[in-house]
Amino acid sequence: MTYQFSDRVPESDEDPVGNILKVAGSPDVISFAGGLPAPELFPVAELKRVTDEVYDESGRQALQYSTAIGYPQLREQIVKRMAHQGVKTTIDNIMISTGSQQSIDLTAKMFVNPGDTVIVEKPTYLCALDVFRSYGAHIVGVDMDENGMKIDQLEKAVAENPNTKFIYTIPNFQNPTGRTMSADRRERMIEIADNYDIMIVEDDPYGAIRFAGDDIEPIKFYDDHERVIYLSTFSKILAPGLRLGWIVAEKSLIKKFTLMKQSADVHSDNLTQHIVAKFMSEYDIDDHIDKIKQVYRKRERVMMNAIEAFFPKNVHYSHPEGGLFIWVEVPGDVDTKALFDTCIKHNVAFVPGEPFYPDAVTPGTFRLNYSNMSEDHIKTGIKRLGDAIKETISESVSSVSRN
């Protein structure tokens, strides 16, 4: 049989990131490659308790089909969480999704025709790039610095691409760089979107996990014209296996999202929505998030100290104030693939920068995760990584001098 795939299906079956994670998963390798939360922090006993209560009190309702927009009690809880962040909203502005990944997919499905422009940070979340590509988007990357997307470059990109549908941004502790967009850039981004009448998709899975510095209001906070679609998720603040996220947007947009979601998966798991709503009504989720922050803060400090001790001094790296990732830039024309291979020989792994770039790749870049690793492993792994970087740099210098 010759399968006649649609244009959305990638031609190649290659899964470079999957292959990296497979190699990194070998038991001898200390892997900073995945982006997994620490499983020892999942509130298993509490979730078990409230699950029993849901079965006892409303088992039949929770196991029944439900509405695409989501369980009202859970949306009520999210209204309260958003208020904490300075965003006033109502349950009619919120739809529950099957994780932020689905929110990104539904957003692209709803707005992107082949050839439409989507503007993203460079680098950005690789699975969002996959989604935008699958809908035939023309993806334009805008460089970042320590304060997020470079706003002058953003304005130029918007001006040069009149068919821009939206700017996709991860303003807090970005995946993959760990960087956070400053408040003034958030305001400037809104101004640009207002001037050119385009939308902003604000993807915020990590914002609640701030362990240093001061909170910054979401871009949605500055949004007077209902042009920001705000996405978040329970994946990093509770557990990713629950597969629950949410979208905050203007009411008429939520109605459209609801229709799109109905045809995608009818609704997100109703039982899980009841369980999470119950958890949030019986426990203070902010207490739970505080525990996550404390552990991640310690792991990030241990990783940072080890980087300072073991990496060559000319290597640059981001200084996250929250989230899960540090971004590393090895100067010179270092082949990240060769560096990865050397690291595997040293039994340590990361995700090379390449898949995070929509277009030209900055060589020598890679992402490190610190949330999913003991402090001892972090110290040992970063020492190995420092040795591998030194080895790769000296090999590339000697091959340049030979040529």
Residues that bind ligand PLP (CB under 6 A): 35, 99-101, 125, 170, 175, 203, 205, 233, 235, 240, 245
Q: How far is the CB of 101 from ligand PLP (least distance, A)?
A: 3
Q: How far is the CB of 305 from ligand PLP (least distance, A)?
A: 25
Q: How far is the CB of 148 from ligand PLP (least distance, A)?
A: 14
Exposure string over 93-120, b if 16+ CB within 10 A, otherwise e? bbbbbbbbbbbbbbbbbebbeeebbbbb
Q: How far is the CB of 393 from ligand PLP (least distance, A)?
A: 30
Can you read off the two tokens belonging to residue 94?
A: 């919120």
Residue type, 162: P
Strands (E), 277-403: 316-317, 325-329, 348-349, 351-352, 365-369
Closer by beta carbon to ligand PLP, 245 or else 386? 245
Closer by beta carbon to ligand PLP, 209 or else 334? 209
Can you read off the two tokens belonging to residue 312?
A: 């060559």
Residue type, 207: G
CA 85 to chain centre: 18
Closer by beta carbon to ligand PLP, 35 or else 358? 35
Q: How far is the CB of 34 from ligand PLP (least distance, A)?
A: 10
Calculate the dihedral angle through the C-alpha atoms of 10, 15, 17, 22, rounding to the nearest 10 degrees: 160
Beta strands 138-145 and 148-149 are antiparallel
Can you read off the two tokens belonging to residue 43?
A: 């509130």
Q: How far is the CB of 169 from ligand PLP (least distance, A)?
A: 10
Q: Is the dihedral of CA 222, 228, 229, 233 positive or negative?
A: negative
Closer by beta carbon to ligand PLP, 99 or else 352? 99
Closer by beta carbon to ligand PLP, 121 or else 393? 121
Q: How far is the CB of 35 from ligand PLP (least distance, A)?
A: 5
Closer by beta carbon to ligand PLP, 261 or else 346? 261
Closer by beta carbon to ligand PLP, 317 or else 325? 325
User: Maximum Cα–Cα distance for the chain, whole Å?
Assistant: 75
Closer by beta carbon to ligand PLP, 271 or else 339? 271
Q: How far is the CB of 99 from ligand PLP (least distance, A)?
A: 3
Q: How far is the CB of 172 from ligand PLP (least distance, A)?
A: 10
Closer by beta carbon to ligand PLP, 170 or else 389? 170
Residue 130: CB atoms within 10 Å: 15
Number of H helices, E strands in the chain: 12, 14
Q: How far is the CB of 69 from ligand PLP (least distance, A)?
A: 18
The percent of the chain in helix, strand and coil, each rounded to the nearest 5, is: 50, 15, 35
Query: Which residue of this chain has its Cβ atom nearest to ligand PLP in the complex?
Result: 99
Q: How far is CA 310 from CA 36, 254, 325, 328, 387, in A?
A: 24, 50, 18, 13, 8
Q: How far apart are CA 371 and CA 38, in angstroms?
A: 6
Enumerate residues 6+ apart whose C-beta is below 8 A from 340: 20, 349, 350, 352, 366
Closer by beta carbon to ligand PLP, 199 or else 334? 199
Can you read off the two tokens belonging to residue 12?
A: 């190649």
